[in-house]
Chains A and B, each alone.
Chain A
Amino acid sequence: DAGVIQSPRHEVTEMGQEVTLRCKPISGHNSLFWYRQTMMRGLELLIYFNNNVPIDDSGMPEDRFSAKMPNASFSTLKIQPSEPRDSAVYFCASSPGAGGLYEQYFGPGTRLTVT
């Protein structure tokens, strides 16, 4: 298995531009998580899906952030418009079930820089 796939691996954009991050979870996993990691705030859960349905998006910082999961093999995290404070590493993770019993498999992350 290829593991969780994220693209792009690096993204540099200017303030005000739209940014779309992509994630392909491990086949057969029914839960998907988006995280953001910065030095100041650590690893924060933004949103998680179960069976393609958003379960909890309380971690999404603002309306500028949105996430979709149109099918079991693809998810996007969009930031529009982007701001310098959005610069961070964004991780996608998937797990074979919902709940704390299930191991989460993380992707390599997307390093976003907003200038």
Chain B
Amino acid sequence: LAKTTQPISMDSYEGQEVNITCSHNNIATNDYITWYQQFPSQGPRFIIQGYKTKVTNEVASLFIPADRKSSTLSLPRVSLSDTAVYYCLVGDGTGGFKTIFGAGTRLFVKA
């Protein structure tokens, strides 16, 4: 399984755009990149998933360069409620995917 590396923590202010980068140098051809968000005292929640280039949904955007060795989760205009831990996962798109959550990035949004 490809290992991922993310910053341990990040601080931001309300209204700013936040970009969290994840490194996955050993990503395999079949691997997809998935991001989850976890609030205190809750289970993780799926945010976005992609394979290459750019993916956007109502919550975030995911940018993946051509070599796919990294990815960047972009949160536009964060609010206090975006304070959470964000996990980057890389896994095989075929059956038998074993989920490995790393330490994640703890984002703290200040007023």
Contact = CB atoms under 8 A, between A and B. Distances in A.
Contacts of A33: 99
Interface string B22-52: 0000000001101010100111111001000
Nearest to B48: A103
Interface residues of A, number: 26
Given A42-B102, A42-B103, A43-B101, A99 B44 contact: no
Interface residue tally on B, bucketed by range: 20 to 34
B99 A99 contact: no
B46 to A, nearest CB: 4
Nearest to A105: B46
A101 B32 contact: yes
Given A42-B104, A48-B98, A109-B42, A99 B92 contact: yes
Contacts of A104: 36, 44, 46, 99
Q: Which 4 A-B pairs give the minimum distances between C-beta atoms?
A: A106-B43, A100-B91, A100-B97, A43-B101
Interface of B: 31-32, 34, 36, 38, 41-46, 49, 87, 89-104
